[in-house]
């Protein structure tokens, strides 16, 4: 049975970007694309026509990809976690913003809720994403075996990674030498167990004397915004990390936004 990527769409510009991104993954891996729309009473008359138009547009752009479509009258968050399961679906690829919205994804939106509840990996696509690439990826590290699992899940289901940054944030600057050695040892393990040859270490302390960079999410935000990553990889347990810190930083109007395509592992 051929594997499929499930692509939820609300026919917004961001959803179209996500669909194109999914199609490029499908081309590379010989997957099918399943376009999926949840409609309300106000859109029931136009949903079928819109999804067929989307299918036609994508079929012309990606002629070697097979598409099927489905429209259902339910809330996306209610149906998708139970619907998108292996082995039929290998991934969910969806945008981080919806129709009429201009803000980056925050936890509580469809994308974040589905990322936390889905039974297959989710790739969240920001509206600024133009094309699929894995030249340079990044993963937050805390020396956990599941990080290697996530890397291998991404490599097996999405694409090989040419260059990887492993990012570690620590609180005690006095332990910098010890942490650097631990990261070098961990890098060796990653190379051996994932096959990624080019790995760069980024280790940063929390800068308590810098008002703009004094919490973990803000330091991570700065690193991500300073590097031209093609993808950010998030392990199962790190999803709660994203949620916790985005909630606590709201009071300062700073959120850990998804600036790049972000792979949330759920296997």
Report the C-alpha gap between 247 and 242 in whole angstroms. 9
> Do 4-125 and 136-260 fold alike per CATH?
yes
With CA atoms as reference, report the closest residue to 7 among 78, 62, 55. Answer: 55
CATH fold group of domain 4-125: Rossmann fold (3.40.50)
Cα 214 to Cα 152, 167, 169, 177: the distances in Å are 32, 16, 11, 21
Cβ neighbors of 149 (< 8 A, separation 6 or more) are: 235, 265, 267
Q: What is the Cα–Cα distance from 224 to 255, expressed in whole angstroms?
A: 13
Cα 149 to Cα 146, 187, 230, 234, 267: the distances in Å are 5, 14, 19, 11, 9
CB of 19 closer than 8 Å to CB of 28? no
- The residue ranges of every structural domain in the chain are 4-125, 136-260
Give the pLDDT of the chain (267 residues) as one tens digit per residue: 789 999 999 898 889 999 999 999 999 999 999 999 988 765 667 889 999 999 999 999 999 999 999 999 888 888 888 899 999 999 999 988 765 444 433 333 677 778 778 899 999 898 888 899 989 999 999 899 999 999 999 999 999 999 999 999 888 776 888 999 999 999 999 999 999 999 999 998 876 555 454 566 677 778 888 898 999 998 887 655 555 544 444 333 333 456 789 899 987
Query: Domain 136-260 has what CATH class?
Result: alpha beta
- What does the pLDDT read at residue 44? 67
pLDDT, residue 200, reads 96
Name the residue among 255, 254, 257, 242 with its Cα closest to residue 115: 242
Which 3 state secondary structure label does DSSP give 170?
strand
CA separation for the pair 245, 255 (Å, rounded): 8
Residue 3 pLDDT? 94
pLDDT given for residue 105 in this prediction: 37
193: burial class by Cβ within 10 Å (0-12, 13-18, 19+)? Answer: middle
């Amino acid at each position: 049975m051929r594997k499929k990527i499930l692509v939820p769409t609300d026919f917004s510009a961001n959803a179209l970007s996500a669909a194109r991104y999914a199609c490029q993954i499908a081309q590379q891996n010989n997957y099918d694309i399943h376009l999926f729309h949840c409609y309300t009473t106000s859109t029931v008359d136009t949903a079928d026509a819109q999804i067929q138009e989307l299918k036609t547009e994508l079929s012309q752009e990606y002629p070697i990809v097979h598409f099927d479509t489905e429209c259902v009258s339910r809330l996306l968050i209610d149906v998708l976690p139970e619907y998108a399961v292996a082995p039929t679906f290998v991934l969910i690829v969806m945008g981080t913003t919806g129709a009429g919205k201009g803000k980056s994804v925050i936890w509580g939106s469809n994308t974040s809720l589905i990322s936390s509840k889905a039974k297959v990996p989710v790739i969240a696509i920001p509206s600024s994403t133009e094309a699929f690439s894995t030249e340079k990826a990044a993963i937050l590290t805390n020396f956990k075996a599941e990080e290697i699992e996530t890397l291998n899940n991404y490599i097996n289901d999405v694409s090989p990674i040419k260059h990887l940054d492993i990012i570690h944030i620590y609180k005690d600057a006095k332990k910098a030498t010890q942490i650097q050695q631990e990261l070098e040892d961990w890098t060796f393990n990653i190379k051996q167990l994932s096959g990624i040859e080019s790995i760069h270490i980024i280790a940063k302390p929390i800068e308590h004397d810098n008002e703009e960079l004094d919490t973990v999410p803000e330091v991570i935000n700065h690193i991500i915004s300073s590097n031209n990553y093609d993808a950010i990889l998030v392990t199962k347990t790190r999803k709660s990390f994203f949620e916790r810190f985005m909630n606590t930083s709201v009071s300062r109007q700073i959120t850990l936004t998804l600036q790049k395509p972000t792979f949330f592992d759920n296997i």
